[in-house]
Chains A and B, each alone.
Chain A
Amino acid sequence: MSVEKIGELVGVAFIFAGAIASVISAFGLLRLPDIYTRSHAATKSSTLAVLLTLSGTFIYFLLGEQFVSVRVLLGIVFVFLTAPVAGHLIVRAAYRSKVKLADISVEDALYDVLHKEEDEKKDGAGRS
């Protein structure tokens, strides 16, 4: 088997795995109960999907056509830089605008902290 053929097969396998991962994360988006758990499915599984798809493309072009595609690598880097920031901000904004956790949630360490902060703010506003 030639190198081109192997590169093609490996690349296709990576892209296929990425496609499966993104389908599963779409299922997760539909099935999970609240915004916090959904954000896991939406932002995280899709980072894996993007990583697999783009590295599959990279391998395909590298071995199949001897073409080093720097743009694909840059795509991975930028997705990995922006995805966590977006996920963090969506979840933080949701919590700050009092979106409730799903009923199956068992622990909420943040509740007391934020509510104490708010009470202090209210007190401060009352005094001034």
Chain B
Amino acid sequence: MPAAQLLLNIFIAFLWMLLMDEDELNFTTFLAGFLVGIGIIFFMHRFFGTQFYLRRFISIVKLIFIFASELTQSSIIVLKQILSPKLNIEPGIFKYETVLKSDVEVTMLSMLLTLTPGSVVMEVAPEGTTLYIHAMDVKQSKASLISQLKNFEKAIMEVTR
């Protein structure tokens, strides 16, 4: 149960604050104790038989980092295409079947994809698993786009499941 782990963590933080034996109760000491508690519970959580309660938080942070790296990579590609003296791009719309199921996941995926330069989600089929994506340069960047999609899908699945 994640709630039990959270309670235990707060308990460790209190214990830490009290055992520090300062003149007054400091919030900063409590926070330090909370961080120590996170460390302890991270190493002990396998004995509880449940998953680490901050796992989702960690995977959200991971998703943000993946997104940042993809954003910079594809931004550089698009900026290069814009600045090249002769526009040699081949835009087009292609179809992508996602493995994600629920509405939240598909929304997250299409949002991230639309935020990264060089690709816009144009339509989502009514069934919700087929995306039609407009790409800046289909021929050259389709492979990298699809690997980017797979990256996002993996990270999103870690967050929601």
* Closest 5 pairs between A and B when the two form their complex, measured CB to CB: A107-B92, A84-B114, A44-B117, A28-B82, A109-B95
Smallest Cβ distance from A94 to chain B, in angstroms? 9
Assess the B110–A21 pair: CB atoms within 8 A. Answer: no
Q: Which of B28-60 contact A (CB under 8 A)?
A: none
With both beta carbons as reference points, the residue of chain B lying nearest to A26 in the complex is identified as: B82
Which residue in A43, A88, A95, A105 is a CB contact (below 8 Å) of B90? A105
Check if B136 sits within 8 Å of A37, measured CB to CB: yes
- Chain B residue at minimal CB-CB distance from A40: B136
26 residue pairs bridging A and B, Cβ less than 8 Å apart: A24-B82, A27-B83, A31-B82, A40-B136, A47-B117, A48-B71, A48-B72, A48-B75, A83-B115, A88-B110, A88-B114, A88-B122, A95-B123, A101-B92, A105-B90, A105-B92, A106-B90, A106-B138, A108-B92, A108-B93, A109-B132, A110-B93, A110-B122, A110-B132, A111-B93, A113-B132
What residues of chain A have their CB less than 8 Å away from a CB belonging to chain B? 21, 24-25, 27-28, 31-34, 36-37, 39-41, 43-45, 47-48, 51, 80, 83-85, 87-88, 91-92, 95, 101-102, 104-111, 113-114
Pair A32/B115 contact, Cβ less than 8 Å? no
Given contacts A24-B79, A113-B132, contact A88 B87 (CB under 8 A): no
Partner of A36 from B82, B110, B116, B120 at Cβ < 8 Å: B120
Residues of B92-138 at the interface with A, using a CB-CB cut-off of 8 Å, are 92-95, 110-111, 114-123, 125, 132, 134, 136, 138
| Closest beta carbon of chain B to A49's beta carbon, Å | 9
Check if B79 sits within 8 Å of A101, measured CB to CB.
no
Q: How many interface contacts (CB-CB < 8 Å) are there between A and B?
A: 114
Closest Cβ–Cβ distance, residue A70 to chain B (whole Å): 17
Q: Min CB distance, A82 to chain B, in Å?
A: 10
Chain A CB within 8 A of B139 CB? yes
Contact residues in B for A110 (Cβ distance below 8 Å): 93, 95, 122-123, 132
Q: Taking the complex as formed, is B2 at the interface, i.e. its CB lies under 8 A from any CB of chain A?
A: no
